[in-house]
Amino acid sequence: MAPSSLTLAIVSLATWVSLISPAHSATCTSQTFTNNKLYAFCNDLPSLASYLHWAYDPAGLTLSIAFIAPPDGPDGWVSWAINPTATGMRGSQALIAFRDAGGKMTVKTYNISSYAPLTESKVWYEVKEATAEFSGGVIRLFATLVLPQGAATTVNQVWQVGPSVTGGVPDRHAFQPANLNSKARLDLLRGESTVILVGNTRTKKRNTHGILNVVSWGIMFPIGIIIARYLRAFPSADPAWFYLHVSCQVSAYAIGVSGWSTGLKLGSESKGVRYANHGNIGIALFAFATVQVFALLLRPNKEHKYRFYWNIYHHGMGYVILILGIINVFKGFNILKPEPKWRDAYIILISVLGGLAVLLEAITWIMVLKRKKSSKTTQPYEGHGHGNGRQEHMDM
């Protein structure tokens, strides 16, 4: 077969596969249960390696389900819920399966009104039967529910997994993208589970927050420092190095403020979720960078008696921002958990910048020592920076 024909065949096959109904192409169709119970429909849910089987009797408003998911730990829990008022976890009417104090599997109901510790309560629907089993690393939750009169046949479903249970109460689940996107609309009659696209908005905001902060604190600020410390040693780069340095740092600050604002917005939308160290470092970075940028307005002339002290302050604050920025980038990676290639790419980039700084450090010191040796005075070098020769290089 010619390459073009082969390509066309592959594209046609992929298109055909994509049109197959999820209920027919799903992995869940091969799953069986120890009680040999059969369900009319099943779906591979889009996150947390979860599956839902169900059958609905519209005459009796009876919904039978089998929810399958691996808990987030050997002593963890799994949950499936219907949210009659919204699309997220808050307001959902949940079934949660876990081991009780005696080691037996149990299923309890919870009205999830907040992220506070859960309290067992009645829910929106009637539970006629609910059992669970744990084997093969997954929990299977079985339940028969009676929906209220007038309930729609398309419902908002929410599912979740947690790491542990303390004192008979399920502990808080993780807040990674997979956990936050575990929701969909379920058409009970047609057998379709549709991903709620608006649920991806938060993930996009998190990614935007991460990108803005990597570019600003993690890349542009280090480049701006390299420009100021090393280009100034070359007479031909004066005064271009200064304007490049200022432009780079002010741009980095503007991007960083945008990233910081996005982080504040995410925090306000995530009640009960807080990454304390990451957030506190972010606040410190914003404060230090704001002082640093506005310090340009207070920069004394080169001949001023306070210029030496201003240099110490300005350079010291710059290095603090540099260190905190890089630390917080890695803390952000730990929170977002992107594909390893993005962390690796940043490590390579920052390593290249570090290697360049070492090389330029050696070159500029050689230049400074040569100038000192060739002249009894540092006057020829004083015109190319904020201070004088060797001392200025050391301050930077």
CATH of the domain at 49: 2.60.40.1210
Instruction: Determine contact, residues 65/142, Cβ cutoff 8 Å.
Output: yes
Domain boundary residue, one of 195, 215, 243: 195
- Does 159 share its domain with 268? no
Q: Which residue has the higher pLDDT, 362 or 18?
A: 362
Task: Give strand ranges (E) for the chain.
Answer: 41-44, 51-57, 62-69, 77-83, 93-99, 105-111, 126-135, 138-146, 154-162, 165-166, 169-170, 183-187, 192-195
Position 119 in a domain: yes
Range list of H helices, 42-113: none
- Does 166 share its domain with 231? no
- Does 233 share its domain with 146? no
- Does 129 share its domain with 142? yes
- Does 161 share its domain with 235? no
- Does 151 share its domain with 262? no
Position 1 in a domain: no
- Per-residue burial over 56-76, b if 16 or more Cβ lie within 10 Å, else e, is beeeebebbbbbbbbbbeeeb
- Does 141 share its domain with 258? no
Q: The domain spanning residue 237 has which CATH number?
A: 1.20.120.1770
Instruction: Determine contact, residues 174/163, Cβ cutoff 8 Å.
Output: yes
Phi, psi angle pair for 105, to nearest 5°: -70, 135
- Does 325 share its domain with 182? no
- Does 223 share its domain with 361? yes
Domain boundary residue, one of 195, 230, 261: 195
Q: Mean pLDDT throughout 35-56? A: 91
Asked whether residue 368 carries a pLDDT value surpassing 90, the answer given is: no
Position 35 in a domain: yes
Counted residue by residue, the chain has a size of 396
Number of domains in the chain: 2
Asked whether residue 386 carries a pLDDT value surpassing 50, the answer given is: no
**pLDDT tens digits for 218-263?**
999 999 999 988 888 788 888 888 899 999 999 999 999 998 888 8
Position 354 in a domain: yes
Position 363 in a domain: yes
- Does 144 share its domain with 249? no
Q: Mean pLDDT throughout 192-206? A: 68
Task: Return the DSSP state at 301.
Answer: P
Instruction: Determine contact, residues 129/37, Cβ cutoff 8 Å.
Output: no
Position 10 in a domain: no
**pLDDT tens digits for 331-346?**
988 887 787 888 999 9
Domain boundary residue, one of 195, 215, 249: 195
Instruction: Determine contact, residues 151/61, Cβ cutoff 8 Å.
Output: yes
Q: What pLDDT was estimated at residue 138?
A: 95
Structural domain containing residue 381? 200-395
pLDDT range class, residue 8, cuts 50, 70, 90: very low
